[in-house]
Amino acid sequence: MAIKKLTKPLRKKTSAPARKKTGTSVKKTSASKTNKATSALEKEKETKEANVLANLDKQRKSGVKRPKKKATAKQTIDLLDAVVEGMKERKAKNITVLNLKTIENRVSDYFVICDADSNTHVNSIADSIEETVEKLNGERAFHTEGQQNGEWILIDYINIVAHVFQREFREHYNLEGLWGDAEITYIN
């Protein structure tokens, strides 16, 4: 009897792995393959939906186009003078005017670039530009950007874009080099 008791548990142990190898494991692998395939399809579907949403956002944003400003040469020069005056009022350094009119595919007619010593100085110059232009020409900026960090503030008047940099950021981005075909005028 002792031998029978020993053989029975051995048979059970040997027969259990045999069952797993034949029937159960095949079902598990096929189930895991279908789960992987289903999750891959779900991920692909989610990616497609995300792409559709992103494209809709792009279409909405592209619907708002940057307007073309129709101004006379005198109005443009007056606006340019007001921007420069606003920079000078708060002691902006290295004021440079880039005339982009001769460049094909330009963003605007003029870039006016200056630099400052600190974030506070940059913000002060940008505020002065907006105040001076509004006072002298009665115009408001179409778009401003960068006031949160005060490293580079851009003020867009459509045909004139003012850039107020901290010195190290001006050297890093080098707009004068990027728009090297433009006529450059240095203002003291």
Quick one: pLDDT at residue 93? 92
- Domain span at residue 34? 1-65
Q: Are residues 39 and 80 in the same domain?
A: no
Domain boundary among 65, 99, 120: 65
Quick one: pLDDT at residue 103? 86
96 contacts 80 by C-beta, under 8 angstroms: no
Strands (E), 81-159: 93-99, 110-116, 143-145, 152-156
Give φ, ψ of 147 to 5 degrees: -70, -20
What is the distance of C-alpha 127 from the center of its chain?
24
Quick one: pLDDT at residue 188? 77
- Is the pLDDT confidence value at 48 over 90? no
Q: Are residues 85 and 120 in the same domain?
A: yes
Amino acid 152 reads W
Q: What is the mean pLDDT of residues 44-48?
A: 69
159 contacts 110 by C-beta, under 8 angstroms: yes
Give the CA distances from residue 106 to residues 23, 48, 51, 162, 173, in Å, rounded to whole numbers and listed in that order.
71, 35, 31, 15, 18
- Is the pLDDT confidence value at 2 over 70? no
Quick one: pLDDT at residue 1? 47
**pLDDT confidence band for 25 (50 / 70 / 90):** very low
How much is the CA Rg of the chain, to the nearest whole Å?
34
Q: Are residues 48 and 98 in the same domain?
A: no
- Number of domains composing the chain: 2
Q: Are residues 121 and 175 in the same domain?
A: yes
Q: Are residues 121 and 172 in the same domain?
A: yes
Q: What is the mean pLDDT of residues 157-184?
A: 90
- Is the pLDDT confidence value at 139 over 80? yes
Predicted structure pTM score: 0.64
**pLDDT confidence band for 35 (50 / 70 / 90):** low
Q: Are residues 89 and 24 in the same domain?
A: no
CATH, residue 182: 3.30.460.10
Q: What is the mean pLDDT of residues 8-35?
A: 51
Query: Beta strand 110-116 with 160-166: parallel, antiparallel or unpaired?
Result: parallel
- Is the pLDDT confidence value at 114 over 50? yes
